[in-house]
Amino acid sequence: MTKLLEVTDLRTYFFTEAGVVKAVDGITVSVDEGKTIGLVGESGSGKSVTAQSVLRIVPRPGKIVGGAIRFDGEDLLTKSESEMRKMRGSKMAVVFQDPTTSLNPVYTVRKQLADILLLHKGLSKDQAYKTALGLLEKVGIQEPESRLNAYPHELSGGMKQRIAIARALSCEPKLLFADEPTTNLDVTIQAQVLELLKQLQKEYGMTMVMITHDMGIVADMTERVTVLYAGKVMEEADTVTLFTNPKHPYTEALLKAVPSVAQTRALEVIPGNIPNLIEPPTGCVFHPRCKFAKDICMKEAPQWETVSDGHYVACHRWRELNLEGRS
Amino acid sequence: MDIMLPATDGGSLTWKGGVENMSVHSGSLLQVNSLIKHFDVVERGIIGRKKVGEVHAVDNVTFDIARGETLGLVGESGCGKTTTGKVLLFLEPPTSGSVIFHGMDVFDAFRKGGSAADAKKLRRGMQMVFQNPYTSLDPRMTIFDILSEPFVIHKNIPKDQWKERVYELLRMVNLEEYHAERYPHEFSGGQRQRIAIARALAVDPEFIVCDEPVSSLDVSIRAQILNLLVDLQQKKHFSYLYISHDLSSVRQVSQRVAVMYLGEIVELAETNALYDNPLHPYTQALISAVPVPDVKHKTTRIILPGEVPSPINPPDGCRFHPRCPYATDICKQVAPKFEDKLVPRHFVACHHADKFVR
């Protein structure tokens, strides 16, 4: 399997007045071509900033300060801004969480879809219009002709997200980042959008990075998962292994802390709060909240170790702990 | 559709909490009868305003809550669940209907000409925890001021005991005494939500409306708050109306669950009955749509076509019929009755519910 994206020891810091926020602090993640991986974490885990770093759209005062990003055989960090512009939208695209802010309110749907096609594909206006129409049909929008002339505020949240997806797919990118694409949607609409993403991924053979905090979506959509916490990778494995045989206490705690619609069981509490990233905890970043923490966890950062083929964990104590997953 | 739900059959306060214990019946604490809330849609012209329509936010909602019970109220955005919670406490005046709390008519007490003493008594009995702890706490007040403000209003404890009581409240929600001198911005979201819960507890209420209390919190923090709510209930035996769009957390904390769609309750049953054998096609679709955090869980997702119609002109007949895979002619014309004739205590409003009884 060829690796489409390889992020190695990425460091993206935000230089704020209060201090340096280490939003992404040594994240390594790779994505095989044609697969869907999940980047899971809570707020401040660095999942969105990782995607922004790959796309090189980190907002100020953020800066990529270290690491390497290889995409489709090319080194992205040495590319100029104009080279990156050519890649964004055509080779890699992103669907953001909130379609109300990611679509431009002063342009019609037609303009927002056609602009990309004119820029990247060099289509004529007429061809762009026809392609845009086809895209709207593809993402399941009824009466596409009239919707093309609508402004975003005239559409519902679910429909706006479908248009954001249509726009992301317009140039058939190799890699799609879906950054919490359904968090703002109602459950029944979320189901529609997730099904749509699955179906389109199959059809286009696209590689997808699903960024989410919802373990349900991870179980449903992804083949591999990387668990992030406080800007670092805790564990990486294929989805079934991660759920049934987690090796990191944070992964286990996360699995046991979420309620399920399918059954009830006692919820386990993860004590404490998400750490401050200006002064992250010493040693293992999870140690202040970890029920298994020992002296070494406070002093030394754990190494990235191989549990089995394709299953990696960063924990001092993974060998001795007997953790439980969810069946 | 004015059926009283028989939730009560006497009993003692020996409830141990959690969802395992389903029999929580020790007298109905709160009764909601045919509650209606319509908002006027007005158009502003040159000469004054003209009413052009009505938003049917809450339509004929009837339920009751027993002492020590949690009733979950689920639905998608715009279904009227938050409005229901607000109207119950008269934070929004109702259009019609009644709410009886402890034998007192809530709306009579708060309406013009109502008794101020009764209104105060009701405020002490019924409290609310809001969704967003970043906006529900005054940023310029210390935690001590926030938690003792109810004492100023209700004069329920002498001033020399305030400090002791505030500390007690903080301990109840697993915070420390020294937190009393701090301001809200010094706390994380989860801690703020605990302060909001402590404030609700300050007047010793018997009933608390929790409106999406964990939605704005991170996953690892949600379990802290959900468990806290259940623990407090076990100690104090109060009742909750737990409003949420998240079916998983509702299942976790509720003994009974009501499902709302376009302003109406379409199904109401004990939690396991509702989740394991939903009788309304909307409930079925809603439950099947939630991704389950288990890799071996297999369900067929029911994908509903389209979106929730506008509550300004809700569809005739059964309001769900335009999206329902089982809809027939009768569904387009006749609104189904909300009743429990198929399974006792499992209320459902659907013409075809008999097909789904297992």
Residues of A whose CB is below 8 A from B281: none
* Beta carbons within 10 angstroms of residue B76's beta carbon: 21
Read off the pTM: 0.87
Residues of A whose CB is below 8 A from B190: 273
Whole-angstrom distance, CA of residue A244 vs CA of residue A252: 9
Strand ranges across the sheet with A305-308: A92-95, A175-179, A207-212, A36-40, A224-229, A232-238, A311-313, A305-308
Here the ipTM equals: 0.84
Element holding B154 (H helix, E strand): helix B143-154
Whole-angstrom distance, CA of residue B69 vs CA of residue A282: 44
B-chain residue closest to A239, CA distance? B295
For chain B, 358 residues long, give each residue's pLDDT as a single digit of tens.
344 444 443 333 333 333 333 334 446 899 999 999 999 998 888 888 888 889 999 999 999 999 999 999 999 988 999 999 999 999 999 999 999 999 899 999 999 888 889 999 999 999 999 989 989 999 999 999 999 999 999 988 899 999 999 999 999 999 999 999 999 999 988 899 999 999 999 999 999 999 999 988 888 889 999 999 999 999 999 999 999 999 999 999 999 999 999 999 999 999 999 999 999 999 999 999 999 998 888 778 898 888 888 888 899 999 999 999 999 999 999 999 999 999 999 999 999 999 999 8
Whole-angstrom distance, CA of residue B286 vs CA of residue A191: 9
pLDDT at B14: 32
As to burial, measured by CB atoms within 10 angstroms (0-12 exposed, 13-18 middle, 19+ buried), residue B158 is exposed
Element holding B96 (H helix, E strand): strand B96-101
Q: Helix, strand or coil for residue A20?
A: strand
Residues of A whose CB is below 8 A from B188: 273-274
Of A218, A118, A106, A212, whose CA–CA distance to A167 is shortest?
A: A118
Whole-angstrom distance, CA of residue A294 vs CA of residue A310: 27
pLDDT at A225: 97
Distance from CA of B193 to the nearest CA of A (A): 13
pLDDT at B137: 94
Residues of A whose CB is below 8 A from B287: 261
B-chain residue closest to A223, CA distance? B295
Whole-angstrom distance, CA of residue B244 vs CA of residue A176: 31
pLDDT at A98: 86
CB A173 within 8 A of CB A90: yes
| Of B249, B294, B308, Cβ closest to residue A243 | B294
Q: What are the CA-CA distances from residue A310 to residues A158, A246, A322 (Å)?
A: 36, 13, 20
Distance from CA of A254 to the nearest CA of B (A): 6
CB B265 within 8 A of CB B58: no
CB within 8 Å of chain B, chain A residues 90-129? none
Interface membership of B310 toward A (CB under 8 Å)? no
As to burial, measured by CB atoms within 10 angstroms (0-12 exposed, 13-18 middle, 19+ buried), residue B303 is middle
Record: contact B293-A326, CB cut-off 8 A: yes
Interface membership of A326 toward B (CB under 8 Å)? yes
Dihedrals phi, psi of B224, to nearest 5 degrees: -60, -45
* Beta carbons within 10 angstroms of residue B154's beta carbon: 15
Segments of chain A scoring below 50 in pLDDT = none
CB B245 within 8 A of CB B77: yes
The full length of chain B comes to 358
| Contacts A–B by Cβ distance under 8 A | 132
Element holding B38 (H helix, E strand): strand B28-44
| Of A194, A266, A269, Cβ closest to residue B224 | A269
Distance from CA of B307 to the nearest CA of A (A): 7
Amino acid at A275: P
| Of A191, A215, A253, Cβ closest to residue B293 | A215
